[in-house]
Amino acid sequence: MALGLLVGTGTGNRISVLLGQRDREGAERVLGQGLRLALINGVVLALVVCAFQQAALARLRMRCRGFCHGHSLHAHRGRWAHLSHRAGVYGQH
């Protein structure tokens, strides 16, 4: 997202300067380059996400295995004791 904002902002600023100089052809050229770069960035990002999607989801499932299968926080009292004491979840301590 940051790369898209960078390209969009830079392209917009350059087009604005060129239009202020009455260089319509230069502005159209910069617009074309910006669109091409945005398209290439989008395709590359989509390919990277598709390539690593299964591995990332598998790792995420392994991390939250205990909480994704209906376990409550009460079963993990020791793990969350520092939070429950402040919130008063388990009553008086």
pLDDT of 82 reads 56
CA–CA separation, 87 vs 93, rounded Å?
Answer: 11
Alpha helices in the chain (DSSP H): 2-20, 24-63, 65-68, 81-87
Please report whether residue 84 resides in a domain.
no
Q: What is the domain range of residue 52?
A: 2-68
Answer yes or no: is 53 within a domain.
Answer: yes
pLDDT at position 42 is: 92
> Residue 34 has what pLDDT?
94
Quick check: is 75 in a domain?
Answer: no
Determine, yes or no, domain membership for 79: no
pLDDT digit string (tens) for 12-61? 999 999 999 999 999 999 999 999 999 999 999 999 988 888 888 888 77
Quick check: 31 and 11 in contact, CB under 8 A? yes
Q: How many domains does the chain have?
A: 1
Give yes or no for a contact between 41 and 7, defined as CB atoms under 8 angstroms apart: yes
Predicted confidence at residue 61, as pLDDT, reads 77
Token pair 């996400």 is at which residue? Answer: 49
Is 85 part of any domain? no
Structural domain includes residue 82? no
Question: Residue 17 corresponds to which tokens in the numbers above?
Answer: 């300067």
